[in-house]
Amino acid sequence: MDTHQELENTRAARAVALGQAQLLIEALPWIKESTGKTVVVKYGGAAMTDDTLRADVMSDIVLLKLIGLNPVIVHGGGRDISLYSERLGLPVEFKDGFRVTPPEVMEIVKMVLIGKINQELVAQLNEHGHLAVGLNGADGHILKARQQSPEMGQVGIIEQVDTTLIRDLIEADYIPVIASVAVGADGASYNINADLVAGALAAAIGAHKVAFLTDVDGLYEDFEDKSTLISRMRLAEARALLEHSAASGTLSTGMIPKIQACVEAVGAGVPRAHILNGTLPHALLLEMFTDQGVGTMILQDSECALPEDFNEYPEGNLASKLHGSGHGGGGGFFDFVTKL
């Protein structure tokens, strides 16, 4: 290789490096805004079943932790539950978007969610260090539930969220990974939709954001027309969409609990909820640390409309210096550039 070619190669490599550095500088405002904040990530869909995508998502979550965020993962595992139920000759039945869960299927739900998927996710995160702890809603009675209806079996409705154990783990610098199984007053286990768990948990813990990784790019005005993606939606619009869908059936059964969870979280004070395509590599990072973002964002009707009793998970150490506040309640959130 001659000297001229070596110089050209050096210049090209330097240009690539400078471009990468520029990306980091452009991400700085979003990193500064988010450092020290708690983010709930609902993980599911194809991003969970594809090994490469799963490795990417786990790496992104580790990066969030290293940057200084407090990620909390909530996961389901519907495809694996159906697969193992079929292998064992058990029925796979859905009603209004929820899995009919008789006691024998509930055992499969626990086996798959707690014994298989949860442990796999924890192991993959812990390849990067001693970072993750696996939980389910029965641990520390994080999720208390009651039966939705007798005909649905052990499908539960969340009645109470106890964040004590999760807060302890965050304070100890761990990433909680939570399977969407709850416990009843009688000690029975209940199958809970993971989207609804993520929304309820984000509301209870005072999360900065909640993100739902799914198989589509977000909400569409017309799903058949991909140019109609809704990039952002106010809380009142999301509530109206749910009401309209209840009357007309415009939303798919899989999207309804996601919108319900977004409405619950944002209505309780969580500033932003995001519906993202988990099959898009690094969708979490694109949404959180770029100007454009991806997917659909649901936010407060007014930037000053947070409920007075909303208590955002407290910041500490470096984060309190960056945000000019030594405590929670969203100290520096609105003092910084917002992502609209």
Could you tell me the residue ranges of all domains in the chain? 34-335
Dmax over CA atoms of the chain, in Å, equals: 79
Cβ neighbour number for residue 248 with a 10 Å cutoff: 8
* Residue 106 phi, psi dihedral angles, 5° rounding: -60, -35
User: What pLDDT shows up at residue 52?
Assistant: 86
DSSP helix/strand/coil, 20: helix
DSSP helix/strand/coil, 33: helix
Q: What would the DSSP string read from start to end of 52-77?
A: HHHHHHHHHHHHHHHHT-EEEEEE--
User: What pLDDT shows up at residue 203?
Assistant: 96
User: Quick check: 318 and 36 in contact, CB under 8 A?
Assistant: yes
Q: What angle do CA 262, 191, 186 make, to 5 degrees?
A: 120
Superfamily classification of domain 34-335? Acetylglutamate kinase-like (3.40.1160.10)
- Consecutive 10-residue averages of pLDDT for the chain (340 residues): 74 73 69 84 83 89 91 94 95 90 96 96 94 96 96 96 96 96 95 96 95 87 76 91 80 85 94 89 82 81 66 68 52 32
β strands within 129-286, DSSP E: 132-136, 143-147, 156-161, 175-179, 181-184, 189-191, 209-214, 219-220, 229-230, 232-234, 272-277
Q: Catalytic amino acids?
A: 42, 45, 78, 195, 258
